[in-house]
Amino acid sequence: MTMHNLLPPAFFLLLCSGLTLMFSPANAATVVTVAGGQAHFRGAVMDSACVVALGDTNAEVQMGQVRRAELSSVGQWADPVAFTLTLTDCDTSVSQAAGIAFQGNADPQDPMVLGMDNGPGSAVGVGLGIYDEKSNLVVPNSAPRSFSTLIDGLNVLHFMAKYRATRETVVSGDASVTANFIVLYQ
């Protein structure tokens, strides 16, 4: 005798009905979908001699505080602050030299330097000049005056940044400057 013959038919009907209810969509776990936000993945595929080091793609140079008295006349420079930009994975069979150009808002009084980020509390009458490792002023929105010879692998390019008085009277305030840089190869 099989198990089927030992149990009454009503039991099998009840058992099958219970299994159907147990696995029905109405009893399935409820799934709630909530918008979670966005993810931005930024990068580029390049056909160039080098790659800008990841930490330098959004470089931040700490200029510190400068006394207004250091910028007491038009054209006067404050002390320089050194910074570097690093190129990695360089291949000299592609290019032998690299130059950096800085792009941004030139100071309205002195187009040879970058202007301050405008906003409430910003300094007035001061700009920021950038010098390359050969002491050439890198004029904003212009081609580099000099190029550095590359070696295969890692290359560190050295710069100096200095505040410059662009008006007779400098007004104290936030002296932040934003500039983009591009790498030009020869």
Question: For residue range 92-140, what is the model confidence (pLDDT) as tens digits?
Answer: 999 999 999 999 999 999 999 999 998 899 999 999 999 999 999 999 9
Listed in sequence order, the residues at least 6 apart from 112 whose beta carbon sits closer than 8 Å to its beta carbon are 106, 129, 137, 139, 140
For 34, list phi and psi in degrees, rounded to 5: -125, 135
Question: Do 134 and 96 meet the contact criterion of CB atoms below 8 Å apart?
Answer: no
How many other C-beta atoms lie within 10 A of the C-beta of residue 1?
5
What mean pLDDT is reported for the chain?
86
CATH classification of the domain holding 122: 2.60.40.1090
The verdict on residue 4 lying in a domain is no
- Domain tally for the chain? 1
The verdict on residue 93 lying in a domain is yes
| Euclidean distance between CA atoms 156 and 101, whole angstroms | 15
- Domain membership of residue 181 as a residue range: 51-185
The verdict on residue 136 lying in a domain is yes
DSSP code of residue 93: T
